[in-house]
Each structure stands twice: as structure tokens, then as C-alpha cells.
Structure 1
Amino acid sequence: MKIVIVDDTPLNLTLMQALVGKLPDCEPLPFIDPQEGLAWCQANEPDLVVVDYMMPGLDGVEFIRRLRATPNRDDVPILMVTADHERQTRYDALQSGATDFLNKPVDRNEFQPRVHNMLALRRAHLATRARARSLEAEIAEATAQIHEREQETVTRLARAAEFRDPETGAHIQRMAHYSALIARQLGKDDAYSALLLQAAPMHDVGKLGIPDHILMKPGRLTVDEFEQMKRHPTIGHDILKGSTSPVIQAAAIIALTHHEKFDGSGYPFGTAGDAIPLEGRIVAVADVFDALTSARPYKPAWSLDDATAFLREGRGQHFDPICVDAMLERWSEVLDIRQRFQDEAPTAL
């Protein structure tokens, strides 16, 4: 236990240093200059401070006040050395953060028990701190496990939608990473970008409620079939709404709004502009871009030039202009994502 002793009187300093030296597992750290003692205590964490009141330049009360103002020094025990008659000084010291007092002249029979009591208090503080850290680690581990299970559920739900949709798992990965990329370019923090990365794959979960003859149709949908297809955002929202999970909550918003258009001509509600949640506006750009540049049974893949031209032409109409610009401004990373998550080649029968 490191015990700092601050006293400008050499005799007192030597006496207290000797008394501390007789205590088991204790290391005295004497300072005759209070400024030096304070600087050490601010740079290092002592287990106990014994400080005299009457010192030139920096008295004991101000010493305590400055030490208590130092981060993470609020639970370090402090013994102030004063005379019995200095009552106002003691009051001031208590208000500044002194833990207890030693009477002048220092008496060995008083000094050692008080130091012993203060060290017992310090050990209790350290044990409480260690327990708090242990609990934090346990909570972090439990939270990580919950998050992992939640993410597994999310992934399986997204895969369930994939099995009823000609789109591939690689599409899900690409559009999710494009979404996170757009969010970062818009200045959103890492937590928001990570949330989009996890939630975006569930954007089409509502297709679970669309009949197979419509979902799997290789040709153009009829007007009636398209009206049924337009129900998948609300179906997806109904599946996901009401969750306490931030990821599922974001996914519900995305499912409901990723087919809205910036000019109000989208579905299911015809919401326009900034009234469309940002998550939906971001995913709309990411999803359409990847759908255009991916081959499907009913269409060939568009070239990158044609797809980017489509995004630019749709700025302010289909798409939020800032989301389009954000994606195109990170073009090298878009290409990296396309390369990283490629569609698997069809398996020969």
C-alpha cells in the first residue's frame, strides 16, 4: 500500500515515515514540498495520503481540495495533521474532502491505529471497485451473448425470406454493407452504421406473405399482381413491429419505408422527402443499386455505368440526393464490397 506523507517539517516527515515503515505491506512516500506531493498524487494513485495543514505555498486544505478535484481520487483516504484547537480548519478540511485527522504532535499510539483503519477502508474500496469491474465484464459478456443470439435470429429470418425470393444471400450482404457505407459518409456514428448493417438484411422479410406464383414469376407482373407485391412492406412491418430490440425496431422501419420515393410516388404510403425515415432512404439507394447490377432469372445484370446513371437520374425523384451522392463519393469501397460478396455460380444438376 503506497502511503504519501506530505509535511514541510523534516522531523515530522522522518517520524511518520518511520512509523509507516513498521506497518506490514506499506511503502512510505515522503514529500517535504506540498506541490511535488500533489503532483505525484495526481499522476499516480496513492492508497493513503497524510498531509499537514500548515505548509508554505499550499496549505493542507487546498492540497485536499485539488486532490479531490483530480479524476479518480475521490475514494483515496486522506488524514490531515492538525492541532486540537484548529476547529475551523478541521471543518474546512472536512468540506474539502478530508477523511480523518491526526493530532499534533504526532503520537505513535494514535498514528498507527488511524492509518490501519484508513487502509482497511482503502482495501474495502479497492475490493468494491474490483467487484464492480468484474460485474461489468460479466454483464458485457452476457450482453454479447444476447446480441449474438439476436443476430442469429435476424440472420435466419432474413434467410427465410431469401428462400422464397430469387435474390441471393450475397445481395443481402452487399446491400447491407452499402447501407452502412452510405451512413458513414453521411457522418453517422459507428453505432448507427452497425445498426443498419444488421437491420438492412430484413428489408424484404414481408415477401414471406406474398404468394409464390407472384414472387417467383419470371416475367412482368400484372397490375393486380403488382398491387399484391406492394403489400410486402406492410407485411414486413407487421412481422417486425413491437420488438424491444433496437435492431428489430430499425428493421421494421426499413421494411416499411424502403420502397417509398423521395418525390412521394412510392409505396405503401406515398411519403415524400425527409418525412421518409433516413434508414428507408439509405436502404432504397443500396437495394436498388445492387438489384440493378445483379443478374436474375428474369433479367440480366446492368453495367455499373448504367446503374450509376440511373441513380443520378433518380436524385430528388426516386432517391434522396444526399444518399446517392454519399454512395458515389465512396465508389472505391462500393467496388470492394461488390468484390467481397459475389453471387455463387449456379450448381449443375
Structure 2
Amino acid sequence: MKIAIIDDTPLNLTLMQALVSKLPECEPQPFADPAEGLAWCQQNEPDLVIVDYMMPGLDGVEFIRRFRATPQRGDVPILMVTADHERQTRYNALQSGATDFLNKPVDRNEFQPRVHNMLALRRAHLATRERARTLEIEVAKATALVHDREQETVTRLARAAEFRDPETGAHIQRMAHYSALIARQAGQSDAYCTMLLLSAPMHDVGKLGIPDHILMKPGRLTPDEFEQMKRHPEIGYDILKDSTSPVIQAAATIALSHHEKFDGSGYPNGLSGEAIPLAGRIVAVADVFDALTSARPYKPAWPLDEARQFLVEGRGQHFDPSCVDALLADWPAVLDIRDRFRDEDEH
């Protein structure tokens, strides 16, 4: 245990250093200059500080105040050495953060028990700190495990929808990364962008409830078929809505809202403007852009310039203008996502 001793009187400093040296597993760090002692205590973490009150330039109360203001020094015990009659000084020292006091002149029979008690307190603080650190590590491990299981659930739900949908797994990856890109360009937090990256792939999970003859139809849907297809946002929401997972809750919101249009002409609820959840507005842009630029059994891929122009023309009507602008603001990142997540037949 490192014990800092600060006293400008050489005799007192020598005496206390000798007394500390006799204690088991204790190492004294003596300082006659209070400024030097404070600097050492701020750069190193002592286990106990013994400081005299009456010192030139920096008295004991001010020493304690500055020491306590140093980060991670709040639980280090401090013994102040004072004359028994200096009551007001003691009150000031307690308010500044002193733990206990030693009377002048220093008496060995008083010194050793007080130091022993302060070191026992210090050991208890260190043990508590270590338990908190261990608990933090265990909580982080448990949280990571929950996150991994949550991500596995997300992936399996998205894959289940893929098996019944002519769209590819690469489309799911691209639109999710486009969504995160839009959110990042729009100034959203890293946590929000990550949440979107994980939840966006489930936007079409409601297609699990659409009959095969409609979902797999290569040609144009009839009005009645399209009405049935338009049920998939609500089906997806019903599948996901009761989860306690924040990611799956976000996915439920996205599933329900990603076919809404900024001018209110979308479905299923005809929401408009900012009444549409932000995640839904973001995914609407990402999903449509990738659908346009991807080949499907019923259509060829659009050239990038034409898809880009479609988004621009749809600003304020189909799409939230700020989301369109966010996607187009980092075109090199868009091209990088397209290149990283190519469809299998393009490799």
C-alpha cells in the first residue's frame, strides 16, 4: 500500500516515514514540499494520504480540495495532522474531503491504529471497485450474448422471408447498408445506425403471409392481387410487434411504415410527412433505390443515373427529401455498398 506523507517539518516527516515503514506491506512516499506531493498524488494513485495542515504556500485544506478534484481520487482516505485546538480547521478539512485526523504531536500509539483503520477502508474500496469491474465485464458478456442471439433471430426471420421472395439476400444486405448510410448522413447516432442496419432486413417479413401465386407471379399483379400484396406491412408488424427486443421493435415499425409515402398516398395507413416514422422514411428510399437498380425475373436493372433521377423526382412526393439528399450526398459509399454486396449471378 502506497502512503503519501506531506509535511514541511523534517522531524515530523522522518517520524511518520519510519512509523509507516514498520507497517506490513506499506511503502511511504514522503514529501516536504506540498506542491510536489500533490503532483505525485495526482499522477499516481496513493492508498492513503497523510497531510499536515500548517504548510507554506499550500495548506492542508487546500491540498485536500485539489486532491479530491482529481479524477478517481474520491475514495482514497486522507488523514490530516492538526493540533487538537484547531476545530474550525477540522470542520473545513471535513468539508473538503478529509477522512480522519491525527493530533500533534504525532503519537505512535495513535498513529498506527488510525493508519491501520484507513488502510482497511482502502482495501474495502478496492475490493468493491474490483467487484464492480468484474460485474461490468460479466454484464458486457451477457449483453453481447443477447445481442448475438437477437441478431441470429433477425437473420433467420429475414432469411425466412427471402425463401418466399424472388428478391435476393444481397438485396437485403444492400438496402440495410443504404439505410444505415442515410441515417449516418442525416446525423443520427452510431447506435441508431447500427439498430437500422440490424432491423431493416426484416422490412418485408410480412410477405411470409402472402400466397405464393401472388408473391411469385412474374407478371403484373391484378388490382385484387395487389390489394392482397399490400397487406404484407401489417402482417410483418403483427409478427414482430410484441417482441421485447429494441431491434425487433424497430423492425416492426419499419415493416409497417416503409410503404408509406411522404405525400400521404402510400399504404397501409396513408401517413404523410414526419408522421411517418423516420426509420420507415429511410428504408423507403433505400429499398426502392436497390429494387430499381437490381435485376428481377420480371424486369432488368435500371441504370444508376435513371434510378438516381427517380429518387430526385420523387422528393417530397414518394420520398422524404432529406432522406434522398442523405443517400445521394455520399455517392462513393453507395457504389461501394453495391460492389461489396453483389448478386450471385454478377460474380
- TM-score interval w.r.t. the shorter chain? over 0.9
Q: CA deviation at 1:39?
A: 2.1
Equivalent residue number for residue 178 of structure 2: 178
Equivalent residue number for residue 322 of structure 2: 322
Give distance in 2, aligned partners of 1:46 and 1:84: 26
Equivalent residue number for residue 41 of structure 1: 41
Task: Note the alpha carbon deviations across 1:20-75, whole angstroms, 9 max, x for none.
Answer: 12222222111112222222222221110000111122221222122222221111
Q: What SS is found at the alignment partner of 2:49?
A: strand
Task: Note the alpha carbon deviations across 1:199-238, whole angstroms, 9 max, x for none.
Answer: 0000001111111111010000001111111111111111
Q: CA deviation at 1:138?
A: 0.4
Equivalences for 1:196-235 in 2 at 5 Å? 196-235=196-235
Q: CA deviation at 1:83?
A: 1.5
Give distance in 2, aligned partners of 1:136 and 1:99: 28
Which ranges of 4 or more aligned residues in structure 1 deviate by more than 6 Å? none
Q: CA deviation at 1:188?
A: 0.8
Give distance in 1, aligned partners of 2:330 and 2:345: 28
Equivalent residue number for residue 278 of structure 1: 278
Equivalent residue number for residue 129 of structure 1: 129
What letter corresponds to residue 111 of structure 2 in structure 1?
A: F
Q: What SS is found at the alignment partner of 1:345?
A: helix
Equivalent residue number for residue 100 of structure 1: 100
Q: CA deviation at 1:328?
A: 0.9
Equivalent residue number for residue 344 of structure 2: 344
What percentage of residue pairs aligned between the two structures are identical? 84
What letter corresponds to residue 109 of structure 1 in structure 2?
A: N
With normalisation by structure 2, the TM-score equals: 0.97
Give the aligned CA root-mean-square deviation in angstroms. 1.2
Q: CA deviation at 1:88?
A: 2.3
Equivalent residue number for residue 162 of structure 1: 162
Task: Note the alpha carbon deviations across 1:59-112, whole angstroms, 9 max, x for none.
Answer: 212221222222211110100111122222222222221111111111122212
Give distance in 1, aligned partners of 2:277 and 2:298: 31
Q: CA deviation at 1:114?
A: 1.4
Equivalent residue number for residue 262 of structure 1: 262
Equivalences for 1:51-200 in 2 at 5 Å? 51-200=51-200
Give distance in 1, aligned partners of 2:220 and 2:286: 23
Q: What SS is found at the alignment partner of 1:324?
A: helix
More deviation, 79-88/130-139: 79-88
Task: Note the alpha carbon deviations across 1:279-321, whole angstroms, 9 max, x for none.
Answer: 0110001000100111111111111111111111111111111
Q: What SS is found at the alignment partner of 2:300?
A: coil
What letter corresponds to residue 197 of structure 1 in structure 2?
A: L
What letter corresponds to residue 14 of structure 1 in structure 2?
A: T
Give distance in 1, aligned partners of 2:298 and 2:229: 16
What letter corresponds to residue 18 of structure 1 in structure 2?
A: A
Instruction: Name the count of aligned residue pairs.
Output: 346
What letter corresponds to residue 189 of structure 1 in structure 2?
A: S
Give distance in 1, aligned partners of 2:173 and 2:84: 75
Q: What SS is found at the alignment partner of 1:130?
A: helix
What letter corresponds to residue 180 of structure 1 in structure 2?
A: A
With normalisation by structure 1, the TM-score equals: 0.97
Equivalent residue number for residue 4 of structure 2: 4
Q: What SS is found at the alignment partner of 2:140?
A: helix
Q: What SS is found at the alignment partner of 2:8?
A: coil
Give distance in 1, aligned partners of 2:54 and 2:271: 73
What letter corresponds to residue 168 of structure 1 in structure 2?
A: T
Give distance in 2, aligned partners of 1:277 and 1:31: 63
Q: CA deviation at 1:327?
A: 0.7
What letter corresponds to residue 4 of structure 1 in structure 2?
A: A
For structure 1, which runs of at least 5 residues remain unmatched after alignment?
none
Give distance in 2, aligned partners of 1:79 and 1:243: 55
Give distance in 1, aligned partners of 2:135 and 2:14: 42
Equivalent residue number for residue 29 of structure 2: 29
What letter corresponds to residue 110 of structure 1 in structure 2?
A: E
More deviation, 27-36/183-192: 27-36
Q: What SS is found at the alignment partner of 1:80?
A: strand
For structure 2, which runs of at least 5 residues remain unmatched after alignment?
none
